[in-house]
Structure formats: structure tokens, C-alpha cells
Amino acid sequence: MTALLVIGIYLIVIIAGVTVYVKKQEAKLHTTDNFMMGGKTMSAPVVGVTMALTILGAVHVFGLMEMGFMMGAVTMWFPFIHVVIICIAGFVTGAWLRRYGLDTIPEFVGRLFGPYMRVMCIMATVLVVWGFLTLECQGLGIVVKSFSGWSITTGIFISAIAGLLYVLLAGVKEIGYINTINTVIMYAGLIVGIIMLGYALPGGNWDAVNAFYKNTDKEWMMSLMGTATIMKTFTLSLSLSVLFSQSVNQTLLHATAGAKDEKTVKRSTWIAAPVNGMFGCFTVAIGFAASTIPEFAELGPKLAGTSMIIALLPGWVVGWLLASFIAAIISSFAMHSLATATIFVKDIYVDRYNPLATEKQQTLMVRIFIVLLGGSASVIAIWLPTILAAVGWVSSFLAPFFFFLFAGLYWKRSQAAGVITIAVAWIANIMWSFTNLWETLGFSTQDVYAYLTVGITVVLGTILTFALPGKEAYRKQLAREKALAAAEGREFTYETFKAA
Amino acid sequence: MFFWGFFFESLAVCIGCCVVFQVIDFIVTKAKGGRAE
């Protein structure tokens, strides 16, 4: 309880301090589009840390502790896959978004293919991001409940208010700067926590954990490679389901759109990858150690890790770890709210209804959407206990856009091919999910949604893009425009091309 | 110490992944004549 109070005061002080700093900086720099895009002046450390913490949330805290308990070190492939996603976002998709001066992924898709594809991308992105937002709300409720004894509902509402304050006052830069400070505190807490845990384990070090797995013929649990079966089922199926959808997810790419330039986005990857990837090391190790101590192991994978921390570590270390977990989840909540609200404002409000909206009007609209989305997600979080499975499923609806971004940039842009392919992939996914088709076709599991949408997209998308008429690749068009501008003695920038 | 072995192995994977992408990016940029688009 005291720990929660201290964390609450800390958050208020840091949010107030960062907001004052951001406002002063904006007044000095005279940049535009500050709230949603940080005036497109964000530095590599801020972009990197924000990318890292955006896709580091409830699953990294509780999911990894639970999986570490059951499968051991091989669980680290989940964070490793996120490192690959960050690298794709930093060196490929996020770099493209920043290079072409675009703000959102639906805008990018619309620019390549046209308005129908943009609308489909808005639908899929909002569905996925809002699903994750709900999941983060649940995670916050569980953290508060585990450490304070309050109900999950109280935990969700209190932390949702804190999450909204995290973004509502100064936008993406506020999230970025608070994330940067929190990352230092979070990693210091995790390192201190893991060292103290080493001393508190039976025997006063990790040797007993080692010995347990050796003596019980489970040495494979100490290896990052696990067993061949686990690598095949867990790692491969997970890779496909998150890789294609997260690499084109607005939430992750939002920070890259607000970076100073393309080089900054690429540099930020070097910060984002280890900051995101290494977090799992700590939570996996906690679950991994908890399963070797009978009194915690008997509580089962969901409770063993947190129960062990609370029982073995001093109160101040537990509080510090609690703050670290809250920082990780709350930053994801804030960024998911902002990303979804930005899509509503940029891709719907400005694009469809008010193209001449001033920055003040856009900022007001985005604030309203943040409150509506964050508030509704926290209410849904209370009523939908199995949201994690649903998030995996909705992600498969976004995966086809990964293929079409590549096709549109490097090969050919056919809106008809895109719309037909994605519609077929979505309908097939829905039929697969809500009928017995999978059993009829002899599959032993239904959980292959991402394989299904990606498979249909690659095969049908390739055939239709080849067969149907379409425009030349976007890069070819840009090269032509650039050559034309040079011949006419005009200056060519992606920003002016976008505006035209 | 089991944990620190695990920690540094994981760090190596994270950094290794960045190196691979940076090298690919370098090669692609060189192939385009060493200029940004």
C-alpha cells in the first residue's frame, strides 16, 4: 500500500516536470504537430526507449513469468522475436514511414494503394491496437492487485487514470521523456531485484536452481534452445503470428514517425532492441526460479513468480519491482491510446471530415479520443478475462498489410488485388474461427490464424497483383518525380510530394 | 552463476540481431550507390 502511494506521488511529480519541460521546449523550437508527432524532432534515445516500452507490457511481465515457469530459458524466444520486430520497424517499415514524411500506417497504405485499402487498414489497426490496450488495462489491474490486495477493478481504474495522465498533458514527447527516465529506474530495480533474489534463494545463490533442473532431468530448461518440439511449436508459431502484424502496427511505428529523420530511426533501433529484449531475462528467470521451490511451485505458473518475490524479497525491493512492472505496462497503455486516437484524428477526422483542421482542433480531438478509448478499454478489461487469446487472433487481421507494403513499394500497386486478397483472407479467418472447418480439414489445432491470413495473402496477393492492372511501384514513381524536379530545377522533398 | 550466463547470452542475441540488420542496411545503401533515398 505504501509502495503504491510512493509510486503514485513519483508518477505525478515526473509527469508534471516532464510536461513543463516539453511545453518550454515546444515554445522555443516553434515546431508544429507537437502533440501527436512531437514536432518530428524526437532524438534517437527517446524514440528507441519509446519503441522498446511500447511493445513491452503485460505479456512481458506476467506471460513470460508464467512461460518461464513452464518452459524455462526457451521462453526468451518471445522477447527475441520482439527484438526482430523492432529491427524490422527501425530499419525497414519505421524508416520508410519517416523517410516519406507520413504519420500513420493507414496513411502509408492509402498513399500506396488508395482509399479502400486505407479504410481496411484503419479497421484492422484499430481492432488490434484497441485489443492490446484492453490487455494492458488487465495487466495493470493484476499488478496492483498482486502487490496491494485491492480488487482488479480498482487497480484497472486507478492505473488507467495514471496511464491517461502519462499522455494527455503533452502527447508523444511526454511519453518519450517519461519512458526514458522510467527505463533507468526500471532496469536499476530489475538488476537490484535479481541480485537480491540470488541471495534469498535456497543456498544463497542460483546453484540450487541449476541443481534442481540437472537432478530432475530437465537440463533442457536451462538452454535457450529448449527442445526440438518446443522450438517447432512455440517459437515458430509465435514468430509468424506476431512478426507480420507487429512490424506494421501503428503503436510501434508511431514513435518512428515523430523522429528527427530516417537516420535517427535507424540509430534508435540500437537502443530499442536491448531495452526491450533484456527485460524478459528478468521475468523469465523469476518464473524459472519459482518452479524449483516447492512452496511456490505448488501455487502454479500464474501465481508462483509474484508470490516468490513478495515472500523472499525485502519490502523496498518488492516496491521497486512493482514500480518497474507498472512503468513497463503503463507506457504501453499510454502509447496504445495515443496511436489509436491518432488514427481516428489523422485518418478519419482530418482526412474525411475536416482537412483544414488547425493544430489546436486536432489536439483537442486526439485528447477526446484518448480519453474515450482508454476509458472504454478499461471497462471492457473488467468484463473480458480471456483477452490475451483474442489479441493473438485479431493480430492476424493486420498481418496481410506487411506483404502489400513491400509489393506497393517495390513491385506494383493494385488496389483491386489488395482489397480482394485481404477480404478473402479475413473471411477465411472468420470462417476458420467460428465454424468447424479446421476439424473437417483434419487440423489438430485451430490456433493457426496468422499462418492462414499470411498464406492466403502471399499466394492470392501475388497472383492478383500480377494479373490485375495497377500503378507502378511507389519507389519508381518517386524516382521519376525526383528526376522531373531536377530537370525543371525544382527542389524535391518527400514532404512537398506528400502535400501535393 | 546461472543468471548472468543467461543474461549475457540474451544480450548477445539482441545485439547480434541489430548487427545483422545494420549490415544488411549498409549493403543495401551501398548497392544504391551509397546515398540515402
**Model confidence over A371-406: pLDDT tens digits?**
999 999 888 888 765 555 667 788 889 989 999 999
Residue A61 to residue A284: CA distance in whole angstroms: 9
Residue A378 to residue A444: CA distance in whole angstroms: 35
Share above pLDDT 90 across residues of chain A, in percent, rounded to a whole number = 43
pTM of the full structure: 0.91
Query: Could you read off the pLDDT of A118-153 as tens digits, one per residue?
Result: 999 999 999 888 888 888 888 888 888 877 778 888
Is beta strand A471-472 parallel, antiparallel or unpaired with respect to A412-413?
antiparallel
Alpha helix stretches (DSSP H) within A204-358: 207-215, 228-230, 237-246, 250-257, 262-290, 294-297, 301-312, 315-342
Look at chain B and count its residues.
37
pLDDT greater than 90 at residue A64: no
Q: What are phi and psi of A491, to 5 degrees?
A: -85, 140
Query: Could you read off the pLDDT of A276-317 as tens digits, one per residue?
Result: 999 999 999 999 899 999 999 998 888 899 889 989 999 889
Amino acid B32: pLDDT: 77
pLDDT greater than 80 at residue A4: no
Predicted ipTM > 0.90: yes
Residues of A in contact with B36 (CB under 8 A): 99, 262-263
Say whether B2 and A209 touch across the interface (CB within 8 A). Answer: yes
| CA nearest to B25 within chain A | A91
- From residue A216, give the alpha-carbon distance in Å to each of A58, A63, A210, A292, A481: 31, 24, 10, 10, 67
Helix (H) or strand (E) holding A413: strand A412-413
Say whether B21 and A91 touch across the interface (CB within 8 A). Answer: yes
Question: Mean pLDDT throughout A324-350?
Answer: 91
Residue A364 to residue A342: CA distance in whole angstroms: 11
pLDDT greater than 70 at residue A500: no
pLDDT greater than 80 at residue A444: no
Say whether B21 and A87 touch across the interface (CB within 8 A). Answer: yes
Residues of B in contact with A274 (CB under 8 A): 11, 14-15, 18
Query: Could you read off the pLDDT of A192-231 as tens digits, one per residue?
Result: 999 999 999 988 888 888 888 888 888 888 888 888 777 7
Helices A44-54 and A172-200: crossing angle in degrees, nearest 10, is 60
- From residue A241, give the alpha-carbon distance in Å to each of A237, A244, A426: 6, 7, 15
A113 contacts: CB under 8 Å, gap ≥ 6: A404, A408, A413, A414, A415, A418
Say whether A273 and B10 touch across the interface (CB within 8 A). Answer: no
Say whether A99 and B37 touch across the interface (CB within 8 A). Answer: yes
Residue A420 to residue A428: CA distance in whole angstroms: 12
